[in-house]
Amino acid sequence: MQEECVSLQVCVSVVGALECVVRRCLGPDGGSVLFTRDTGETLITRHGQRLLSALHLQHPMARMVLDCVCAHAKATGDGTKSFIFLLAAVLRGIQDSHMHRKGSWSVPGLRNLANRLMAVSRKELEDITTHKITPYASLYCSLHSYKLEGNVLDLLIGGYISGRVGIGQADVLKQVLCEFYHKVSKDQNAAETISFIHSNFSFLHTTVTGLPIGCSEVIEGLVVTRDWSVWTELEGPIKALILYESFGAVGENIFVCIQRDYVLCTESIMKQKLASLLDLQVHVILSSVKQPESVLQWARLNRISLLECVDLPQLEFLSNISTAETLPHAALQQLVMLKYCRRMQLSGHRYACLGMFSHMHTLVLCAPAPGLLDQTVCVSQGVFAMLQHLSESFCQKPANTRSDQSQNVLSSQDLWGGIMHAGGVIPVGGTFEFLLHHYLLNERKSCDPESCRLLAEALLCLPRTLYAHNHRRFLNIQIRFLNDLKRWDKTKEQESEMPELKFGFGLSESSALGLESVSGKKQLVVSVLQCLHRLLCVGAILHTRSLLRTGLQTYDEEDEEEKPERSDFTQSTDA
C-alpha cells in the first residue's frame, strides 16, 4: 500500500492544471478545444463540463473536483469553467496567505479555514445576495427596462451562448433559438414550455451538415428523418395508426407447418389483418419497423401513406404528446390524429413532416461539418437546461410575494419579466463578481474578515481572465464600476433620485450584452467553497490494490454497478 500525502501544494497544482485547459475557452474571446481519439472520433467544445469529462483525469483529487463540477452543473446548468477558476484562485489565495505568515498551514488549520469559508458562504454570502446584489440587479433592470423589456430571454440566451460558440455564430444561433422558443410556447405556461423543450430536445431538433449555421431555421410540425415509403397527398386532419411490429412477423423459434394450400392461407391471414385496418379508416401508417412488400403494395392500392423505420423513442414521444388511443385488440397498435402530413426536402434528403395539433415545431440546426454541428446542438440543448434551472428557481422561491393563482399559469412575458424585476438576472461580464468583491470587503458586521477578504480577492480573478488580453481595460472598468457604486450608495442614503448606472452597458462594448442568473452565480460560489472544503479535508491518499468498498454494504443496484468500477480505476492509475 502506498501513501501519498496531500498538501496544499498538491491541490494547487492539480486544480491549476485543470485551470490551464479551461482558461483557453473562457468568455466570448476564448477559443475552443479539439479532442481526438485514434478511433477517429473528434469532439470540439467550449463547454466546461464536456471539456473536463473528456479529459482522462489521473489524479484522484482531480476526479474529485470533476465530481463537484458535475454536481454543480446539474444544479445550475451553467458556470463550470468559472468553477475551476474560482477554485484555483481561492486555493492560490490560501497558499499566498500562508507565505505571508511564514509558517505552514497545519492540516487542522486548513480544515479550520475551510470551515470558516463555508460559514461565510452560509451567512455573509446569503446576506449580501439578498440585501445588496438582488436590489442592485432589480434596480439596474428597472432603470434599463426600456432596453430590456421583452427581450430578457434574448439577453439570457445571448449571455449563455456567447461563451460557448464562436463570435460569428452566436448572433445567428441566438435568433433561431429565440424564434424556436416563441413558436413553441405561444401563450402557454412558460415554465412548462421550457421544461417540455428541455426534456424532449432530442426529438425537437434535426441536423443538417454542409450549410453555414446561418441557414438554421424553425419548421412547423415534427420532422421525421425518414422518407415516406408510400406517399399520397392527403388533406386536413388525418387519422394515423402507429405500429410497433411487422405485419408479416413470424417471430423466432417458431415451427412453420406447411400444409396443403399454405400459400393461400398465409395470404389470407395477412389480408384479414389489413382489412381490419381499413375498417379503422386510417390514412397514415407510422411504423417503427420495416413492413413486408405486400403491405406496401396494399397501402399503394388503398391510397394510404406509409412511413417505415421511424425511431422508436420518437414514435413513443409522438404518441405521448398527441394522446394516442391504444386499440383494444392489438397492444402494439395506437391511433393518433394528425393535423397534416407532408413530404419535405431538407439538405438533399426527403423527410416526412407530421403536423400536430399542439404548437409543435422542429429546430433545424445547420453547420458546415459534423464536429461543429455537434457543438451547436450541445449549446442549444444547454440553453434550455439553463433556462429551466432559472425558471424553476424563480417559481419555487417567492411563493410569498406572488399570489397563488398567478403561480400556476405564467405567460412567457410574465415569467421573464418577473425574473427580471425580482432581480434574478444581472449583466454578464463580471458584474456579480465586482459587486460581491466590493461588499465582502466592506462588510462591517462580518465576524471573519480574513476569510471574507480571501474570497473577495479570489472573486476578481474571473473578470481579470475575461479581459486577459487587455489588462488596462480591466482596471478602467473596475474603477468606473466602483465610482458608480459609490454614487449609488450615496444617493441611497440621501434617498434622492437614482443616477443612471452605466456599468453593465459599459462592459458590453466588445461582447454582445447578455444577462445571467444571480442565483446560479451564488450557487457557484457556494459549490466552490463546498468543493474546497472537500479538498482540504483530505489528509492523504492511499493507493491500494484491493477492491474498495466504501460506505454501507447495502447499495442500490445502480450504485453497485458504478462504485466498485470507479474505485478500481482510482487504484490503478497512480498520480
d(CA 301, CA 294): 11
Site map for other proteins, 496-525, x if CB under 8 A? -------------xx---------------
d(CA 297, CA 274): 11
Burial of 183 (0-12, 13-18, 19+ CB in 10 A): middle
Using the contact rule CB under 8 A, the part of the chain among 67-75, 140-148, 210-218, 402-410 near other proteins is: 210-218
Please check whether residue 104 is in contact with residue 35, taking contact to mean a CB–CB distance below 8 angstroms: no
Q: Say whether 292 sits in a helix, a strand or coil.
A: coil
Which of 71, 269, 280, 301 is the binder for other proteins (CB under 8 A)? 301
**Residues making up the chain, counted from first to last:** 575
d(CA 97, CA 88): 14
- 166 is an interface residue for other proteins by CB under 8 A: yes
| Assigned C-alpha cell, 393 | 428557481
Q: Judged by CB, which is closer to other proteins: 334, or 511?
A: 511
- 292 is an interface residue for other proteins by CB under 8 A: yes
Burial of 236 (0-12, 13-18, 19+ CB in 10 A): exposed
Q: Judged by CB, which is closer to other proteins: 249, or 542?
A: 249
The bridge status of strand 222-224 relative to strand 515-517 is unpaired
Using the contact rule CB under 8 A, the part of the chain among 88-96, 122-130, 297-305, 485-493 near other proteins is: 297-305
Using the contact rule CB under 8 A, the part of the chain among 59-67, 107-115, 367-375, 513-521 near other proteins is: 367-375
Which of 32, 145, 151, 411 is the binder for other proteins (CB under 8 A)? 32
Q: Look up residue 426 and give its DSSP letter.
A: E
Binding residues for other proteins restricted to 99-138, rule: CB under 8 A = none
- Residue 309's region, left for phi above 0, alpha for psi from -120 to 50, else beta, is left
- Helices 60-76/370-396 angle, 10° precision: 60
| Assigned C-alpha cell, 433 | 463578481
- 54 is an interface residue for other proteins by CB under 8 A: yes
- 266 is an interface residue for other proteins by CB under 8 A: yes
Residue with cell 399559469: 409
Q: Judged by CB, which is closer to other proteins: 343, or 534?
A: 343
Using the contact rule CB under 8 A, the part of the chain among 20-28, 197-205, 383-391, 531-539 near other proteins is: 20-28
Which of 188, 209, 225, 446 is the binder for other proteins (CB under 8 A)? 209
Closest CA to 69 of 131, 135, 124, 18: 18
Binding residues for other proteins restricted to 335-364, rule: CB under 8 A = 347-348
Using the contact rule CB under 8 A, the part of the chain among 288-296, 331-339, 421-429, 521-529 near other proteins is: 288-296
Q: Say whether 567 sits in a helix, a strand or coil.
A: helix
d(CA 284, CA 235): 12
Q: Judged by CB, which is closer to other proteins: 13, or 58?
A: 58
Please check whether residue 114 is in contact with residue 536, taking contact to mean a CB–CB distance below 8 angstroms: yes
- 552 is an interface residue for other proteins by CB under 8 A: no
- 274 is an interface residue for other proteins by CB under 8 A: no
| Assigned C-alpha cell, 167 | 463570435
Residue with cell 394522446: 323
d(CA 173, CA 377): 10
- 568 is an interface residue for other proteins by CB under 8 A: yes
Binding residues for other proteins restricted to 381-420, rule: CB under 8 A = none
Nearest approach, Cβ of 290 to other proteins (angstroms)?
Answer: 13
Bridge partner list, 43: 35
Nearest approach, Cβ of 125 to other proteins (angstroms)?
Answer: 33
Binding residues for other proteins restricted to 223-262, rule: CB under 8 A = 233, 250, 252, 254-262
d(CA 188, CA 183): 10
Q: Judged by CB, which is closer to other proteins: 276, or 297?
A: 297
Nearest approach, Cβ of 30 to other proteins (angstroms)?
Answer: 7
**Count of residues near other proteins by CB under 8 A:** 70
d(CA 257, CA 255): 6
Which of 500, 561, 569, 575 is the binder for other proteins (CB under 8 A)? 569
| Assigned C-alpha cell, 540 | 492523504
- 28 is an interface residue for other proteins by CB under 8 A: yes
Nearest approach, Cβ of 468 to other proteins (angstroms)?
Answer: 12
Q: Judged by CB, which is closer to other proteins: 28, or 382?
A: 28
Using the contact rule CB under 8 A, the part of the chain among 129-137, 177-185, 294-302, 320-328 near other proteins is: 294-302
- 169 is an interface residue for other proteins by CB under 8 A: yes
d(CA 448, CA 114): 12
Please check whether residue 160 is in contact with residue 382, taking contact to mean a CB–CB distance below 8 angstroms: yes
Please check whether residue 339 is in contact with residue 237, taking contact to mean a CB–CB distance below 8 angstroms: yes
Q: Judged by CB, which is closer to other proteins: 126, or 568?
A: 568
- 573 is an interface residue for other proteins by CB under 8 A: yes
- 1 is an interface residue for other proteins by CB under 8 A: no
Nearest approach, Cβ of 3 to other proteins (angstroms)?
Answer: 19
Q: Judged by CB, which is closer to other proteins: 135, or 168?
A: 168
Please report how many Cα atoms fall inside a 13 Å half-sphere around the Cα of residue 297, on the Cβ side. Answer: 5
C-alpha separations of 294 from 165, 246, 275, 506 in Å: 50, 11, 13, 69
Which residues sit at the interface with other proteins, rule CB under 8 A? 21, 24-25, 28-38, 42, 44, 54-56, 58, 166-169, 209-214, 233, 250, 252, 254-264, 266-267, 271, 292-294, 296-297, 300-301, 347-348, 368-372, 469, 509-510, 547, 568-569, 572-574
